[in-house]
Amino acid sequence: MLPRKRLDQLPYPEIAEAASFFQTTTMTAQDLIARAGQVAERLNELLSPETVGAFQKALANLESATGAIARNEGNIDKMLVGLPKATGDLRALAAKMDQLVGSASLVIAELGP
C-alpha cells in the first residue's frame, strides 16, 4: 500500500511522456518525404532547359579551348622555351628605359620652366 499523501500531492509518481516508436518513425518518415521533395525540386531546376543549355555551352567552350591548346602545343612549347630569354630582354629594356627617363628628367630640369 502506498503511503498517504497530502491533498495537493498525487498518490503516485508521474512518468514523463515520450514519443512512441510509431510517432518517432512517422515524424522521421515525414521529414524524409519533405527532404525528398526538396531534392526533387532542386533536380528539376538543375535539369531545366536553360541550365542544360548553359552547361552544354560551357562544355563546348571547354572542348574548343582544349582543342586550340592541343593544336598549338608545339608553339606553346617554343614560347615556354623562349620565355627566360624574353624575360631577360625585357628586364634589360626596362633598365635602359629607366636610364632614359632619368636623363630626360635632368634635361628638362636644366631647361627650366
Q: Tell me if 88 is assigned to some domain.
A: yes
Q: Tell me if 10 is assigned to some domain.
A: no
Is pLDDT of 2 > 70?
no
112 and 86 belong to one structural domain:
yes
Is pLDDT of 99 > 90?
yes
Distance CA 110, CA 113 (A): 9
Q: Tell me if 6 is assigned to some domain.
A: no
Confidence band (pLDDT; 50, 70, 90) for 108?
A: confident
Distance CA 65, CA 61 (A): 6
Residue numbers of the domain that contains 46: 39-71
Nearest-5° Cα angle at 65, 60 to 68: 125
The domain tally of the chain equals: 2
Is pLDDT of 54 > 90?
yes
67 and 85 belong to one structural domain:
no
The helix/strand/coil state of 33 is helix
46 and 65 belong to one structural domain:
yes
Confidence band (pLDDT; 50, 70, 90) for 4?
A: low
**Inter-residue contact 27 to 19 (CB < 8 Å):** yes
What's residue 112's pLDDT? 74
Distance CA 44, CA 86 (A): 53
